[in-house]
Amino acid sequence: MNRKTRYSRVIKGLHNWIIFFVLFSFVITCCLMLFISVLSNSLGIVFSEENLSDAAKLTFINVIFISLLFTVFDSLRRWFMVNRPVNKILDAAKKITKGDFSARIQPVNTLFADDGFNKIIECFNKMAEELSGIETLRADFIANVSHELKTPLAVMQNYGTMLQQPVLSDEKRLEYSKGITEAARRLSNLITNILKLNKLKNQQMFPSVKEYNLSEQICESLLQFENEWEKKKITIKTDIEDGVKIRSDEELLSLVWNNLFSNAMKFTGENGTVSVSLESKGDVAVINVKDTGCGMTPEVGAHIFEKFYQGDTSHSEKGNGLGLALVKRVVDIMHGEIRVESVLGKGSSFTVEFDRNLSKN
């Protein structure tokens, strides 16, 4: 607090004291003198005007002095019990408004302050903690998006520059053109996934429920990766129950299977195995996608459904860390469950469960 503010508060305090307590003292003095006058008349005691004047002056001075003591006491009380906690809250709020989300307020001593301040402080600290987490996610999101956008753009720029060479073989020209096409595809997929995830998060994409054959959908989705498993000589094992019907959003669920199969192919090495199973257990459809890839640690497994999180950075050029975030969001919208079991160096197993009749939820 600067000197000017301190002086203004002192002047304001004196002003309030003069207006309130001096007026209060005058009223109390008049009442006391009226009481003494009535009492003396009833008892037949006669006071001279000089004695009454002296008594009035002394009473007024005493009341002024007592009121001053009470003013000082009330000011100290307000400082410890009100002003100091309020100033702490204000200082922390100013830090928050300036972007310092690490600001926290220590609880006040209830002996010198109302316990209500501690309730306000507790809520403030929770708010600051939530804002800090949101700010961290926002900063990470911007950093990751910038990185993911920059990588394919840099590839396209480099290949485009090389294509401008006057002497360039047809083989190299085709290679560079394919590189540009692949980078553009990655960039398009990234933007598409960001938009889908944003719509799902903001509940702008609503399920279109209809009954369809889940068994056929999973088979069709798996066949889309035939080139990838043949290229890496991956063995595909399937145990898909025929004719499993489900009432759900076919388009949204296709995002789940495509992303799970894509991850399985991406993280499984050559001559590995990817297993896909589907079975119905009453009203529940259980889908399992298992691979013999690199696996992951429990620490990585706890974060894989977060946006842009990539536990295995050696495969980061093949994805953008949004796939499993999309999967988790779709599963939540469809009132389903998803679990992951993984052993580092041995592979991962994703299990998804859906109620076959979404209209029951």
pLDDT surpasses 60 at 2: no
- pTM (2 d.p.): 0.50
Per residue in 189-222, pLDDT (tens digit) is 667 766 766 666 555 556 678 899 999 999 998 9
Half-sphere exposure of 326 (CA within 13 A, CB side): 29
Strands (E) across 241-309 are located at 245-248, 273-281, 284-291
Q: What is the mean pLDDT of residues 94-104?
A: 82
Per residue in 297-327, pLDDT (tens digit) is 777 666 676 654 444 444 444 444 566 877 8
**What domains are defined for the chain?**
3-100 (no CATH), 210-360 (3.30.565.10)
φ and ψ at residue 31, rounded to 5 degrees: -65, -40
Per residue in 250-270, pLDDT (tens digit) is 877 888 898 899 889 888 989
pLDDT surpasses 50 at 334: yes
Q: Which two tokens stand for residue 176?
A: 């560079």
Q: What is the DSSP string of 74-99?
A: HHHHHIIIIIHHHHHHHHHHHHHHTT
